[in-house]
Amino acid sequence: MTSVEVYGKTRRTYQNAHPSLRELFTQNLSDETFLVFDKERYSFEVGATLFCVNSVDEN
Could you tell me the residue ranges of all domains in the chain? 17-59
DSSP 18: -
Give the residue among 8, 27, 9, 30 at the shortest CA–CA distance from 19.
27
Q: Could you report the per-residue pLDDT of 16-35, keeping only the tens digit for each?
A: 988 887 787 778 788 888 88
Please state, in angstroms and rounded to a whole number, the distance separating the CA atoms of residues 25 and 44.
7
Q: Which residue has the higher pLDDT, 54 or 28?
A: 28
52 compared with 10, residue with greater pLDDT: 10
* pTM beyond 0.75: no
